[in-house]
Structure 1
Amino acid sequence: MEYSEVQKIAKDTIEYIKNVLHADMKLTDVRRLCEEKMLALGADSFWYWDVGAFVFSGDETTVSVSGREYVTSDRLIAADDIITIDLSPQCGNIWGDYARTIILENGGVVEDINSIRNSEWRNGLLMEEELHAELLRFAVPQTTFEELDFHINQLITERGFINLDFLGNLGHSIVKDKNDRIYTEKGNMALLSSVGYFTFEPHISVKDSKYGYKKENIYYFADGTLKELYFQKFNVILFLFYIFIRN
């Protein structure tokens, strides 16, 4: 299985859970459903401390904690609520890593960020979009992890936000063993292009707020340009057709 296929398992699981989230649902049930869905879609395990889905809601969304210490609370989702889900599927030591903050208003998921009525939540998710767009604009193969860390954290501060990550970093390399990861952090002079894939997952809030926001994708360089990792079914079909007509 390719990295894009495992990442698609995580993406499809987020789309699935959006359709079943509802008020009065326990976070423990959200985690269970996400993990069951990833296994059904082809994951064989979960690479981050065997936790497939980190799930937080409300004022828990500011919490940043290692997987070895994480415990899913049994709190209930409210009709107007903010939920962050961070997924870690694995298949044969190939990782996926994908997170989204989801907004419920009047008991339903709000898909369009600009349609979120709660201005604080809307602004937080718009800031996540800005950070990911800035990553794509700023990063080149010669950019170091430290340079990216400095640039993005400076932007976070300039926009009036704070970095919530418990280690202060913004992401990590995708490897076979979690202990081999290198991070987007001060002092890491490795080039972004020196790794096959890396995550970008700013976990942000504003000072003294109860709410946090997270968006995580996997990125890689192709022909000198940074791209988001995603599964291109259409291209696979074209490739198979090409092989067929050649033979």
Structure 2
Amino acid sequence: MLNLENIREVQNIAKKTIEHVQLQTKEGMSEEDIKILAESFMLSNGIKKFWYYNVGAFVLAGNRSLLSISGKDYVPSKVKVKNGEVITIDLSPVLNNTWGDFARTFYIGKSNNEINEALEFIKNLHLMFIDIYNHNLAISMIHNELCKKIQNNGFELLDFRNNFGHSIEEDITLRKWFDSNNNEKFSTLKFFTFEPHIKKKGSSYGIKHENIYYYDGSKLTEV
């Protein structure tokens, strides 16, 4: 059943999984290795299945982090991750027939100012979204406003649908999109993701940062 308690429970498992993966990922592992690591952790913590075309952990490393492809077409690479490369991981666990959806980008190795600045921007983009959110406005209006903020800060959107997220559903075919073509009000989305997939212009990697949000009656709140 789609409710806050169930979403919070499955989302907490997803968050713990990302923490586990960040601690355990080492240079020389592949996307396939990291995918297995993440999915095994979720399964050992009560997750029974994955809602996104049975891909529990969508992992892209290095310059493959620029790719925007459907889970239907995803095949993890066996190429070993090098020191300093970014790793993006997007999780899609199911618990009590309820989706979790959580993504983060991180990197291994020594500190990289360019990547750190990009990761800081995408975190701030979430704060900008929370600030301008209005449940009575059209989804397309807020999408367009966020696109301007991305472009004005020297970034570009990578998603193949020019999409920022989707509603949380029990059926994958019923998702409503957070894009420029959706003129419905945000109030039509009870729970939804914000997951911008972007890159700094001229850079060789993409970054992603995803949370599930809901309107609590006064403000937009992260699950």
TM-score w.r.t. length of structure 1? 0.86
Match for 1:213 among 196, 207, 215?
207
Match for 2:21 among 17, 29, 45?
17
In the aligned structure 1, how far is the partner of 2:120 from the partner of 2:137?
Answer: 25
How far residue 213 of structure 1 moved from its aligned partner, in angstroms, is 0.6
1:173-212 matched pairs, under 5 angstroms:
173-212=167-206
Determine if the alignment matches structure 1 residue 90 to structure 2 residue 90: no
SS in structure 2 opposite 1:174? coil
1:125 equivalent in structure 2: 119
In the aligned structure 2, how far is the partner of 1:127 from the partner of 1:63?
Answer: 20
How far residue 40 of structure 1 moved from its aligned partner, in angstroms, is 1.3
1:224 equivalent in structure 2: 218
How far residue 218 of structure 1 moved from its aligned partner, in angstroms, is 0.2
In the aligned structure 1, how far is the partner of 2:107 from the partner of 2:187?
Answer: 34
In the aligned structure 1, how far is the partner of 2:98 from the partner of 2:173?
Answer: 15
In the aligned structure 2, how far is the partner of 1:165 from the partner of 1:184?
Answer: 12
1:146-157 matched pairs, under 5 angstroms:
146-157=140-151
Amino acid in structure 2 at the alignment position of 1:163: L
Determine if the alignment matches structure 1 residue 59 to structure 2 residue 63: yes
In the aligned structure 2, how far is the partner of 1:74 from the partner of 1:135?
Answer: 36
How far residue 120 of structure 1 moved from its aligned partner, in angstroms, is 2.1
In the aligned structure 1, how far is the partner of 2:206 from the partner of 2:161?
Answer: 16
How far residue 127 of structure 1 moved from its aligned partner, in angstroms, is 1.3
SS in structure 2 opposite 1:2? helix
How far residue 183 of structure 1 moved from its aligned partner, in angstroms, is 0.7
In the aligned structure 1, how far is the partner of 2:220 from the partner of 2:138?
Answer: 13
In the aligned structure 1, how far is the partner of 2:12 from the partner of 2:137?
Answer: 27
Residues 32-71 of structure 1: per-residue CA shift (max 9 Å, x gap): 0101111111111000000000111111111110000000
Amino acid in structure 2 at the alignment position of 1:199: T
Amino acid in structure 2 at the alignment position of 1:15: E
1:167 equivalent in structure 2: 161
In the aligned structure 1, how far is the partner of 2:86 from the partner of 2:201?
Answer: 17
Amino acid in structure 1 at the alignment position of 2:131: R
Q: How many residues align?
A: 219
2:104 equivalent in structure 1: 100
SS in structure 1 opposite 2:169? coil
**Percent identity over the alignment?**
38
In the aligned structure 2, how far is the partner of 1:193 from the partner of 1:44?
Answer: 31
Amino acid in structure 1 at the alignment position of 2:139: F
Determine if the alignment matches structure 1 residue 50 to structure 2 residue 54: yes
How far residue 192 of structure 1 moved from its aligned partner, in angstroms, is 1.6
Contact 1:141 1:224 in 2 (8 A): no
Q: CA RMSD in A?
A: 1.2
In the aligned structure 1, how far is the partner of 2:11 from the partner of 2:212?
Answer: 8
Runs of 4+ residues over 4 Å off in structure 1: none
TM-score w.r.t. length of structure 2? 0.95
SS in structure 2 opposite 1:55? strand
Determine if the alignment matches structure 1 residue 141 to structure 2 residue 145: no
Amino acid in structure 1 at the alignment position of 2:156: I
Residues 114-169 of structure 1: per-residue CA shift (max 9 Å, x gap): xxx32321121011011101011110221221112101111001101100001111
Residues 75-112 of structure 1: per-residue CA shift (max 9 Å, x gap): 11212221000000012320000000012124xxxxxx
In the aligned structure 2, how far is the partner of 1:176 from the partner of 1:144?
Answer: 23
- Report the more deviating stretch, 44-53 or 76-85: 76-85
